[in-house]
Structure 1
């Protein structure tokens, strides 16, 4: 029986490019090579798609061959359009009737040296914009390729914190108070926006770009003096800004809880973990750069609290129409002085969480009895399952 051909896709144009490289290196090291033929596929920060030796150079932090052109450029779609001796640009695909998906050029040139890069499944380890927001998933759908993770809708809703919260609210899941506005509204009248925020929320507040991950561009504002710069920072990363009510307030810092979800139509939740950040909150630096953040697995909760968080995680997964995998994050108020447990709020869902061996998602599943290599196997199987289910759908009469 031939081995499955798995393309591991990493890099990308987002601000989380470096995080993606770390995740991909872990996947490439742990994936079972006896079961799969593995094809590393890199996307440079400039948007060029590279394979084989160039992809390996990208992982090592070295520049790719500068002869490669940006995917989709007309001049890139002739002789160097597809896999050629391991150094090719991949261009956007056309739908294919083949049983296995492939990324093929728009041209009909079929010389032997211009063979398409055929894979059975893509394992995208792309974080943030252009990889986690439904855009790359749409490309895979056009090509008819099975891929790990959520589809176009689940990925898009999981990326947009404003739309995500609307879906959570519709599912009657507890969320924090928040205000959403556009960058253009802020630039047209910052004073009006600040008045609106202060009328709806109490300090401290968290200011976030609506569409970004890994806490990039997120700030905690304790007063009006800090609010303006925080909004300016977030506006660098997205046209839509979300300002959220801080949980805990004067009672102290909120507890940050996380659950990993795995599955398609019948998702399962891992044990609950807790992050104790080294900084005031779990920002990009605390996650990836500084030392001292503590991951507690399992979190110190009662059985009832843990079950509640797991049920909410699965409900959030379904509310956003996710599949494959997701990490769901929660905020828990500190206990009251009388010992009453604080309320638990759903914070956000991450449809392509960090996937290094020490990232929370795989660590939560390892603590739940699913080791890293087996987790990769399950995700690939779920991708193929979802593709088979998709192929049952009829698109014409």
Structure 2
């Protein structure tokens, strides 16, 4: 284990120490700058052209906070959180915004809240208004409780005068496709995340697949259906080329520009594929639809990537990935056996999905996922953070047209990256927080680190340093933990949530968050 891992492991529960050990064994140590400790005198190893933190000889605490008369005096950063948007994921965007606001508020950071409705009208809202339970509740109250703007241009002018940096938490269209980013760029407003041109390319599943292929990665064979006038003969030819039966070959049909889970379905054969594609177009989800080979026997994963470089110097670090396991009952019908990780399974309460962090993959596969995601982040010009999804296929499964020289091939099997999420979900139980918690970082740590990293790209914000107080707060938390008497006995903790009120959805989120975080402690049995 590197000296960095050893220093950090002293204040980590045993399970977190094991995850730090695994991080150090799989090519890099995922300790983002600004989260807790700053690493100096690091040697950088080059792995396929990607800068990866290998080892640290010294861990020091930066303390740039100005003090006067024994009191801290720091600059207050004004952050504008923008949520909502026109996509079907705007309910998830509201959950993400609530979580971000909950965990970044502080004396050193002032939050303003904004909402974009389904017609791209912008509103300034109060933080309290963000906690309306559903998008319908939210939209109903907008006219009476929110300050509307005449146009998006007026909205941008307001932001330029009122905030230092924008944190977009809009998922799907207008949030991850470069829309909000282009609006901010035109007004020279600093923001968290990737720039508009790079967003557009990475968000479109077909365009990003072409780019991944150009960059040397293994990709899933696919066919693009554009509009309602699809070419049945061309699709039949594609089925034949990929050794799929034209009447029953199993494929995945999904919009190219609707996020990672909206409209994704399974189809059989050419006719059914075109039917499902036309339904996506008819519903107005997208007019470009992708037909992909169904990766039978594969295991789905997702990985959070954080940029820990300085300014425009990109150094992506990948946290321990999460394996997504679809759990089916013995008496499951055909529809359940065609299960995919869709919107319902990703965001709504279910017993059909289990998460494993780290994944139950061989070590060379975990290393390939982390190395590949880091390289992909850098080559696509992404900024600050992203979530990259993909599949691991054991070596016994053949991938059509997958050259042995392609990136992602390992002795144990093949790693394929399929979806790039420019604004990862940030609801309380999201993959971002699950993976960060495995190496000991709180919700506040990770979010403030992302904001700090974004500030470094803008000269007028580069001097902002009050986020370094994270380490002080973390140290105090460690002292509180040490104050409790140690025991070898496991204490049972019952987490009870739900109820029969209209707030049971909020209770479910809160209870699940408590349950996930308590799992990190070895002396607590969760029921």
TM-score strictly above 0.5: yes
For residues 304-315 of structure 1, the aligned pairs below 5 Å read: 304-315=364-375
Question: CA contact under 8 A between 2:236 and 2:270: conserved in structure 1?
Answer: no
Give the structure-2-normalised TM-score.
0.62
Counterpart residue number, 2:442: 371
Of 33, 45, 49, the residue aligned with 2:106 is: 33
CA distance in 1, matches of 2:99, 2:194: 21
Of 359, 365, 376, the residue aligned with 1:316 is: 376
Of 194, 197, 200, the residue aligned with 2:241 is: 200
Deviation at 1:28, TM superposition (A): 1.3
For residues 203-214 of structure 1, the aligned pairs below 5 Å read: 203-214=249-260
Question: CA contact under 8 A between 2:251 and 2:294: conserved in structure 1?
Answer: yes
Identify unmatched segments of 5+ residues in structure 1. 69-84, 95-101, 106-114, 392-397
Give the structure-1-normalised TM-score.
0.81
**Based on CA coordinates, which of the two structures has the bigger radius of gyration?**
2
Question: CA contact under 8 A between 1:316 and 1:349: conserved in structure 2?
Answer: no
Question: CA contact under 8 A between 2:112 and 2:126: conserved in structure 1?
Answer: no
CA distance in 1, matches of 2:130, 2:99: 16
Counterpart residue number, 1:177: 221
Question: CA contact under 8 A between 1:42 and 1:58: conserved in structure 2?
Answer: no
Question: CA contact under 8 A between 2:252 and 2:291: conserved in structure 1?
Answer: yes
Aligned residues: 350
Structure with more relative contact order (C-alpha pairs < 8 Å, separation 6 or more): 2
Query: CA 1:25–1:90 in structure 2 vs 1: closer, same or farther (change >3 Å)?
Result: farther
CA distance in 2, matches of 1:32, 1:283: 32
Query: CA 1:128–1:86 in structure 2 vs 1: closer, same or farther (change >3 Å)?
Result: closer
Question: CA contact under 8 A between 2:228 and 2:278: conserved in structure 1?
Answer: no
Query: CA 1:148–1:36 in structure 2 vs 1: closer, same or farther (change >3 Å)?
Result: same
Counterpart secondary structure, 2:172 = coil
Query: CA 1:127–1:60 in structure 2 vs 1: closer, same or farther (change >3 Å)?
Result: same
CA distance in 2, matches of 1:308, 1:54: 41
CA distance in 2, matches of 1:90, 1:54: 21
Identify unmatched segments of 5+ residues in structure 2. 1-73, 328-335, 398-410, 463-527
CA distance in 1, matches of 2:185, 2:221: 36
1:362 aligns to 2:433 (yes or no):
yes
Of 138, 152, 177, the residue aligned with 1:92 is: 152
Of 321, 343, 347, the residue aligned with 1:288 is: 347
Counterpart residue number, 2:455: 384
Query: CA 1:389–1:33 in structure 2 vs 1: closer, same or farther (change >3 Å)?
Result: closer
CA RMSD of aligned residues (A): 2.7
Query: CA 1:184–1:368 in structure 2 vs 1: closer, same or farther (change >3 Å)?
Result: same
1:343 aligns to 2:417 (yes or no):
no
1:21 aligns to 2:94 (yes or no):
yes
1:256 aligns to 2:304 (yes or no):
no
Question: What does the per-residue CA deviation read over 1:2-55, in whole Å, with 9 as the maximum and x for residues that have no partner?
Answer: 310111110111121111111111111111322210111111223221113498
Give 4+ residue runs of structure 1 displaced > 4 Å after superposition: 64-68
1:241 aligns to 2:289 (yes or no):
yes
CA distance in 1, matches of 2:160, 2:219: 46
Counterpart residue number, 1:267: 316
CA distance in 2, matches of 1:389, 1:32: 21
